[in-house]
Amino acid sequence: MDSTNSPSTKPIYRGTQIAWYILGVIEVLLASRFLLKLFEANPGAGFTGFIYDVTHVLVSPFTNVFGISEVTGNVFEWTTLLAMLFYWAITMGIVKLLLIGKTVSTPEAAAKLKNQEK
């Protein structure tokens, strides 16, 4: 059976699409938080408050890892950058795990194993 026409290919593809989409949403929210803090956005403004509220749960596990660099009110939030890197790495792991379920032909598997031996 051709591995590209396997019944498992489409669900795996959809799963990877979902993982990348969720990561994209998280990264946009965290990048927005980072920039708003960096450029001293008014936390009382509706949009700024919304972004801070939504992203708080995403950055809270990382809050004590690094200090916050602040220069005349501008906040360089290292924890947000760490959170972005962490969520990207987790998504890469999920995608790799999903791809394990992809059907491969015997010649394709043999070629991939041979490349791993190098």
Contact 63, 77 (CB under 8 A): no
**Residues 88, 42: contact at Cβ < 8 Å?**
no
Tens place of pLDDT per residue across the chain (118 aa): 455 667 777 888 999 999 999 999 999 999 999 999 999 999 999 999 999 999 999 999 998 898 778 788 788 999 999 999 999 999 999 999 999 888 888 888 888 888 888 7
